[in-house]
Chain A
Amino acid sequence: QQQVKQSPQSLIVQKGGISIINCAYENTAFDYFPWYQQFPGKGPALLIAIRPDVSEKKEGRFTISFNKSAKQFSLHIMDSQPGDSATYFCAARWFTGNQFYFGTGTSLTVIP
């Protein structure tokens, strides 16, 4: 059973556009929601993260929107650039802090 459901599986966006990736979860025992970016041949790297008591967090062109009641969170990439082309994973941490569940990933391609 997939604890964190991520969509879409792939996304193609024009340079300068907004990329939006969505995740949903069922278990309210999660207490921390990070997003990771992975380039081919590399390990994932933390992009931005949020706690469930915050509805939005912005860092540069990257924003997480968090809807606790709907159990959904999303990543928005503003002014998308070709260098943003990568696979993005959402994740959720079990409240005891010992286990992370990852979404299945979204392959983003930003075309010039």
Chain B
Amino acid sequence: DSGVTQTPKHLITATGQRVTLRCSPRSGDLSVYWYQQSLDQGLQFLIHYYNGEERAKGNILERFSAQQFPDLHSELNLSSLELGDSALYFCASAREDRVGETQYFGPGTRLLVL
């Protein structure tokens, strides 16, 4: 158990809909990363928040948005969903260690868009 929680575990929805994925980081971790994992694309970095501020954006579509709240939990909002958005979505909380930065991944949310 990484200490990172993600809800919901599974989500089935229809095209055009909007969903919100939630992530609670490990206690004390200020960083939250969001990733999309699909079979043909591997792990794709979406966005990084640190202590409530957006730090970096990766391959995140304009239909997607995220935020990190004062209690450090984060939400990823996906709107106008398309079939191609079906994937596993992971969040990871992170902290610096003596080598670099360890990311602790949550169990993921499996999204299926029908």
Residues of chain A having any CB pair with chain B under 8 Å: 31-32, 34, 36, 41-46, 49-51, 89, 93-94, 96-105
Contacts and interface: CB of A to CB of B under 8 A. Distances in A.
A101 to B, nearest CB: 7
Interface of B is mostly: strand
Contacts of A89: 42-43
B55 A44 contact: no
Nearest to B54: A98
Interface of B: 2, 4, 33, 35, 41-45, 48, 50, 55-56, 58, 90, 92, 99-108
Contact of B90 (A43, A94, A98): A43
Contact of B103 (A41, A98, A100, A101): A100
A104 to B, nearest CB: 4
Nearest to A44: B105
A46 B45 contact: no
Contact of B102 (A41, A46, A97): A46
A96 B101 CA distance: 12
Contacts of A99: 45, 48, 56, 58
A32 B42 contact: no
A45 B33 contact: no
A89 B104 CA distance: 14
Contacts of A102: 35, 42-45
B8 to A, nearest CB: 15
Nearest to B47: A99
